[in-house]
Amino acid sequence: MSARPDVTGGPVAGRTDQVVEQCVVLPADLHARPAGQVTRAVSAYDAVVLLDVDGRDLVDARSVLAVMGLGAVTGQTVTIRGTGLDAVAAVAAVAAVLAAAQPLVT
Amino acid sequence: MSENASVGLVLISHSRALAEGAADVAAQVGGDAGRIVGIGGTEDGRLGTSLDALVTAVEKVAGEAGTVIIPDLGSSVLTARAYLAEDAGRHGAVVVADAPFVEGAVAAAVAAAAGAGLDEVVAAAEGARDVRKT
């Protein structure tokens, strides 16, 4: 068994030695409400999920205030990186939330 | 999840508008408006805090998972402490969080809505202290 994280070979659910990574180009600013959705989505899974924006600001997706603090705006790329037993599902759930982010209606 | 399975939140301020506004924001970000209540002011609409109002609010949101009170400052803090001294145990586990009012409320509301336990919700609220804005 290889100890090397298996990224290119395709993620497998239930493995703890892999890093699952997915990028989402934000269709809207990552304001308070979608940040809350991100944190709630991650909380359902046994996984550690970190986010960065354009290669900086690595934050824990379980902290809603840290996710808001990214200050990520429309068009920026968020990289979602998960490890742990449920990493595949957790990263997919966060990606789905980010991809569905709506502009604020004022 | 049964109706009262998540941790309840009570925000207490001198100002009803401030407390209700913070509760609105926290409920919207957390996505669970039923488990959070903001109270403040006197019965005749002036600034102030009331232990009776706090007891009523805790009764409203208390459930098996416990309740977190987040006070803003001054007599809100004293009233929250008075609650613990006088009413402790009657409505299950109740903890006063040492947290920034709005940020702590938002972090706690999200954690509670995600099904976190009492200790985790308190930790989420108190962790808000370290979040920088600049």
Asked, for residue A25, whether it belongs to a domain, the answer is no
pLDDT of residue A55: 84
Q: Cβ of A59 under 8 Å from any chain B Cβ?
A: no
Q: With respect to residue A95, please indicate whether it lies within any of the assigned structural domains.
A: yes
Q: What is the pLDDT of residue A10?
A: 65
DSSP class per residue in B66-80: -EEEEE-STHHHHHH
The residue among B6 and A104 whose pLDDT is bigger is: B6
DSSP B46: -
Q: In CATH, what number is assigned to the domain containing residue A94? A: 3.30.1340.10
Asked whether the beta carbons of residue A32 and residue B106 sit closer than 8 angstroms, the reply is yes
Q: Which of B14, B16, B35, B91 is catalytic?
A: B14
Question: What ipTM goes with this model?
Answer: 0.83
- At B81, the amino acid letter reads R
Give me the domain span that covers residue A75: 30-99
Taking residue B28's Cβ as centre, other Cβ atoms within 10 Å add up to 15
Which of A12-21, A74-83, A90-99, B99-108 comes out lowest in average pLDDT?
A12-21
**Mean pLDDT in residue range A62-85:** 94
pLDDT higher than 80, residue A21: yes
A63 falls within a domain: yes
Q: Does A100 reach chain B within 8 Å, measured CB to CB? A: no
Low-confidence ranges of chain B (pLDDT < 70): 1-4
Domains annotated for chain B, with CATH where assigned, are 8-129 (3.40.50.510)
Residue from the list B28, B131, B132 with its beta carbon closest to the beta carbon of A33: B28
pLDDT of A2 reads 45
- Could you tell me if residue A59 is inside a domain? yes
Q: How far is B2 from chain A (nearest CA, A)?
A: 17
In a domain, A12, yes or no: no
Please tell me the total count of domains within chain A.
1
Q: Distance between CA B29 and CA B50 in Å, rounded? A: 27
Give me the pLDDT at residue A66, please: 93
pLDDT of residue B3: 54
Query: Within chain B, what is the greatest distance between any pair of CA atoms?
Result: 42
A36 touches chain B (CB under 8 A): yes
Please give, rounded to a whole number of angstroms, the shortest distance from the CA of B7 to a CA of chain A: 14
Active site residue B91: no
